[in-house]
Amino acid sequence: MPRYEPIGPGELVARIAEQVLARAGRAVVAVDGADAAEPESLAAELVSHLRDVGRDAASVPLHGYVRPASLRLEYGRDDVDSYRDAWFDYAALDREVLRALRERGRYLPALWDEAADRSARAALRDASAGTVLIVSGPMLLGRGLAFDHTVRLELTEPALLRRTPEDQRWTVPALLAHATDYPEEPDFVVRWDHPSKPALRISD
């Protein structure tokens, strides 16, 4: 059985940032977590910490790379397979963020406006030589995306169900199945049932 040790939220952010800062040059960090885990919040804390110590950093939420509603909802509003494989444009994320940052020193912070269901009309952003991008959202791992550092916010099934709004609970089977089918080993596994009292998995 894996071992977990309690860790304060601030210490967790510092621990992740320490690994990131040990690497020179541009980097992309994945904060993988269901929407119920609010991965964008941890991403924002990481960005703030990195900026405080003088490193350029920015957040890229996966929800800025959602596909148009006509594609997401092609098979209905609660199709599990669609949520898993057609809801988010992971290929565009790879092209416009990961590879664009490394190959051209630029990136697109968002591609699609989910609420308005239209192009995000975001401008390309230039990245300094040390820019760190924090990509946050569900099912990022197991997609073959070449992240430099990876964090998974792990919710037990009861916690996932409890924290997911009732009208979104149809997504839970997709999240659980993806985690089972693609058990990519991240750099940090964080038990996140209670975000104010996280626990970090310890390697033997």
Residues 73 and 70: their CA atoms lie apart, in Å, by: 6
Q: How many residues does the chain have?
A: 204
pLDDT of res. 133: 98
Give the 3-state secondary structure of the chain: CCEEEECCHHHHHHHHHHHHHCCCCCEEEEEECCHHHCHHHHHHHHHHHHHHCCCCEEEEEHHHHECCHHHHCCCCCCCHHHHHHCCECHHHHHHHHHHHHHHHCEECCCCEECCCCEECCCCCEECCCCCEEEEEECCCCCCCCCCCEEEEEECCHHHHHHHCCHHHHHHHHHHHHHHHHCCCCCCEEEECCCCCCCEEEECC
Q: pLDDT digits over 50-109, tens only?
A: 999 999 999 999 999 999 999 999 988 899 999 999 999 999 999 999 999 999 999 999
pLDDT of 184 above 80: no
Mean pLDDT of 142-170: 96
| Tokens describing residue 9 | 């939220």
pLDDT of 204 above 90: no
Mean pLDDT of 169-190: 92
pLDDT of 203 above 80: no
Residues 39 and 35: their CA atoms lie apart, in Å, by: 7
* Total-model pTM: 0.95
pLDDT of res. 182: 83
Residues 171 and 167: their CA atoms lie apart, in Å, by: 9
Give the percent of the chain with pLDDT over 70: 100
pLDDT of res. 183: 76
pLDDT of 191 above 80: yes
